[in-house]
């Protein structure tokens, strides 16, 4: 049961942290008591910057912050996220203790949080709250599958495929119905198909986990083991026709417009008219089918899968999705496989932290209103916007002078940059949760109600104009993103604070930290994915063939570098998967450095804490990626995620920049200096 609320907005890029008011370069110049912004205790001065800059910038931090048992990865991002979570915790404790008016925002967040914290009530309820969903799943022969799936998806479960509203890639101002693959329990198709010993062993552990979950539902050990084997076989069939992680990020491979008749012809064994009726929506006029081959295979399999197999699979989807909100035995079993086995965590997060995160997931814009009122005044928003505009202007100047880009492409690139929509801190139009009813009596009931509310809200947008005021992240989120269909860069309030920006630090560190984040998100508009969308956010080819070839050659340099980068013994990054983030890391830091150089040219140079302004810039960049992690987490990241390992995000990036070598007096032959012929550079 997919019980967490989700936004329809697709976000592609992710960056780093920040929060309290940060001053623009102009305002900063007037401040007093300038400090370097560097915590020298976080450095490892026994390591030469030219040998391993990540270790130099973060070695002291890594020693002082051993990996906590509850985390597979713990870093500067986590520290800030926990700070924000403490703020939310205080808000929710107060709301839960209040006697707020029924239907008010305080009542909703207070009762939701209280229901999550009421472990005694959850234990007493057992699996009763998911009883209706299990009953639906247990009576799902092929002839009524469309109705069953629609009902399960509305309640937060489902399987097989996803269905919802989202911007039309070639008409980005209108929402279209989207149909896509899904329904795997393991992270992606490779986990089912790889034949190396580690992958085989992991599948065996997965089957053991599924067996445990069926046993907790009341099945005998033999029946549970048989059902778990059915689930693995079922999901393996789906995995064989699923898109790879890299292909899912390629808009050309995921855009297949169709009308209703074409969709029905593609999947003759599934009655879409019945499905739409049961979903409560009129038959959409237009669809995007992200993976036609997957849907064709799904339809064909409906003739070979038995009713019993379908029922077993759907029962698994129900209990798998609901596991974190069920009694402790389910929670523990779910954590043991997905957090401990897959990622290396050694303990669960405290209950209150999980409940704060769940409240943010279901009622994020209610909770977010209180959060920004306490932490992010209008002046902070204005200062953040000023910094974003500074970096954007530098990127505009860079695009205007790129020696490898033709004038025809350049004009359209600048036009696209000028059209960027800038979202800072929080939305200008808060979401209305009036139709989402929250009770203190049942956590699972609240999650199901959240799913019903969000699904109805999403499906109502099919065929209607895109609401460009919507955000894909809540205000306390420590992250940022670029949306290609919206052509927008978005920085929630949660990331706008140290270590990304220090109000009393010199600009060098701030340009290296928050400046690089802003540059990262901005250059996403021109990475391997973003460059395929025009100023309106429409998927279209606006590059000359010659410029496209030049860009692809530069991108291949990044791909090759990361293909050769090892994150664990025998485990390498997937260059095609991480290229977008790696391009944005390099482009963002390059643009931020150029913006810093312009500022520095107009101000006196200062050596602070023994480091030059240029050196402090790079320390500022490196420090935000400080982290410790497990080998399992690094392997999981490399197999599933478009973001490279933190150490590589630093070292692979700076080793491509001659400005870094100059700042630290590195020479050819040093590990952090690539020969000119091997150096990647785009912006």
Whole-angstrom distance, CA of residue 526 vs CA of residue 521: 10
Instruction: Give the SS3 label for residue 432.
Output: coil
Q: Is the peptide bond before 382 cis (omega within 30 degrees of 0)?
A: no
- HSE, side-chain direction, 13 A CA sphere, residue 351: 15
Structure tokens at 115: 């229901």
Instruction: Give the SS3 label for residue 245.
Output: coil
Instruction: Give the SS3 label for residue 319.
Output: helix
SS in 3 state form for 569-632? CCEECCHHHHHHHHHHHHHHHHHHHHHHHHHHCCCCCCCECCECHHHHHHHHHHHCCCEEECHH
Structure tokens at 99: 């006697």
Q: Indicate the pairing of strand 571-572 with strand 566-568.
A: antiparallel
Within 10 A of 274 (CB to CB), how many other CB atoms are there?
A: 16
Q: Is 332 a catalytic residue?
A: no
The residue whose two tokens read 């992991």 is 202
**From the CA atom positions of the chain, what is the Rg in Å?**
25
Whole-angstrom distance, CA of residue 535 vs CA of residue 541: 11
Instruction: Give the SS3 label for residue 528.
Output: coil
Across 287-406, the runs of DSSP E, i.e. the strands, are 287-289
Cβ partners under 8 Å of residue 318, min gap 6: 1, 130, 133, 134, 137, 152, 157
Backbone angles phi, psi at 161, to 5 degrees: -150, 165
Report which of 477, 387, 467, 348 is spatially closest to residue 72, judged by C-alpha positions. 348
* CA 553 from centroid of its chain's CA atoms: 27
Cβ partners under 8 Å of residue 198, min gap 6: none
Structure-derived torsion over alpha carbons of residues 276, 146, 158, 198, reported in degrees to the nearest 10: -130
Strand partners, 165: 177
- Helix ranges (DSSP H) in 138-271: 145-154, 190-193, 197-216, 221-240, 260-266
Active-site hit among 44, 52, 488, 521: 521
Whole-angstrom distance, CA of residue 543 vs CA of residue 415: 13
* Ramachandran assignment for 592, one of left (phi > 0), alpha (psi -120 to 50 degrees), beta (any other): alpha
Q: Is 521 a catalytic residue?
A: yes
Report which of 344, 287, 256, 341 is spatially closest to residue 69, judged by C-alpha positions. 344
Active-site hit among 488, 506, 547, 585: 585
Q: How far is CA 246 from CA 253, 453, 574, in A?
A: 10, 32, 8
- Known catalytic residues are 521, 585
């Amino acid at each position: 049961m997919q019980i967490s609320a989700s936004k329809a907005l697709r976000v592609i890029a992710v960056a780093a942290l920040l929060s309290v008011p940060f001053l623009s370069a102009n305002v900063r110049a007037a401040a007093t008591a300038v400090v370097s912004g560097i915590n020298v205790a976080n450095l490892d001065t026994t390591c030469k910057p030219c040998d391993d800059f990540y270790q130099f910038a973060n070695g002291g931090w890594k020693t002082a912050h051993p990996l906590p048992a509850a985390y597979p990865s713990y870093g500067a991002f986590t520290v800030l996220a926990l700070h924000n979570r403490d703020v939310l915790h205080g808000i929710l404790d107060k709301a839960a203790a209040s006697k707020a008016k029924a239907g008010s925002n305080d009542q909703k967040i207070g009762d939701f949080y209280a229901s999550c914290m009421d472990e005694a009530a959850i234990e007493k309820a057992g699996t009763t709250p998911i009883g209706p969903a299990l009953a639906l799943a247990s009576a799902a022969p092929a002839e009524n599958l469309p109705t069953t799936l629609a009902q399960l998806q509305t309640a937060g479960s489902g399987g097989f495929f996803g269905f919802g509203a989202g911007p039309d890639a070639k008409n980005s101002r209108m929402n279209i119905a989207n149909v896509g693959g899904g329904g795997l329990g393991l992270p992606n198709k490779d986990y089912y198909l790889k034949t190396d010993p580690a992958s085989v062993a992991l599948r065996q552990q997965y089957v053991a986990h599924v067996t445990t979950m069926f046993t907790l539902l009341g099945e005998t050990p033999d029946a549970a083991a048989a059902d778990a084997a059915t689930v693995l076989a079922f999901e393996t069939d789906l995995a064989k026709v699923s898109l790879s992680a890299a292909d899912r990020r390629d808009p050309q491979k995921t855009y297949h417009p169709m009308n209703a008749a074409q969709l029905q012809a593609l999947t003759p064994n599934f009655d879409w008219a019945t499905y739409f009726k049961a979903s409560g929506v009129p038959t959409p006029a237009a669809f995007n089918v992200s993976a036609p081959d997957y849907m064709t295979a799904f339809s064909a399999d409906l003739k070979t899968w038995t009713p019993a197999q379908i029922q077993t699979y759907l029962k698994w989807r129900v209990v798998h999705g609901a596991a974190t909100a069920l009694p402790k035995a389910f929670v523990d079993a779910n954590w043991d496989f997905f957090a401990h086995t897959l990622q290396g965590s050694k303990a669960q997060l405290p209950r209150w932290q999980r409940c704060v995160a769940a409240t943010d997931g279901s009622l994020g814009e209610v909770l977010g209103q209180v959060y920004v009122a306490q932490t992010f005044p209008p002046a902070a928003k204005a200062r953040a916007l000023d910094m974003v505009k500074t970096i954007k202007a530098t990127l505009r100047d860079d695009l205007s002078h790129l020696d490898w880009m033709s004038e025809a492409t350049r004009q359209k690139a600048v036009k696209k940059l000028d059209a960027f929509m800038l979202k800072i801190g929080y939305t200008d139009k808060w979401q209305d949760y009036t139709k989402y009813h929250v009770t203190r009596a049942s956590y699972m009931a609240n999650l199901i109600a959240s799913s019903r509310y969000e699904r109805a809200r999403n499906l109502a947008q099919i065929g209607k104009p895109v609401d460009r005021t919507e955000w894909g992240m809540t205000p306390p989120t420590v992250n940022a993103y670029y949306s290609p269909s919206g052509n927008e860069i978005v920085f929630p309030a949660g990331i706008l604070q140290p270590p990304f920006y220090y109000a009393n630090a010199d600009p060098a560190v701030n340009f290296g930290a928050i400046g690089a984040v802003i540059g990262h998100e901005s250059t996403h508009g021109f990475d391997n994915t973003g460059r395929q969308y025009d100023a309106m956010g429409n998927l279209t080819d606006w590059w000359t063939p010659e410029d496209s070839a030049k860009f692809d050659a530069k991108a291949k340099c990044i791909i090759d570098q990361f293909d050769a980068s090892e994150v664990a013994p025998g485990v390498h990054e997937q260059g095609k998967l991480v290229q977008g983030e790696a391009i944005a890391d390099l482009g963002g830091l390059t643009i931020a450095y150029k913006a810093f150089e312009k500022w520095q040219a107009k101000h006196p140079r200062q050596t602070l804490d023994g480091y030059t302004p240029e050196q402090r810039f790079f320390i500022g960049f490196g420090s935000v990626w400080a982290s410790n992690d497990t080998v399992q987490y690094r392997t999981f990241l490399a197999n599933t995620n478009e973001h490279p390992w933190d150490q590589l995000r630093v070292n692979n990036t700076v080793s491509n920049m001659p400005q870094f070598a100059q700042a630290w007096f590195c020479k050819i032959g040093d590990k952090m200096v690539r020969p000119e012929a091997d150096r990647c550079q785009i912006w």
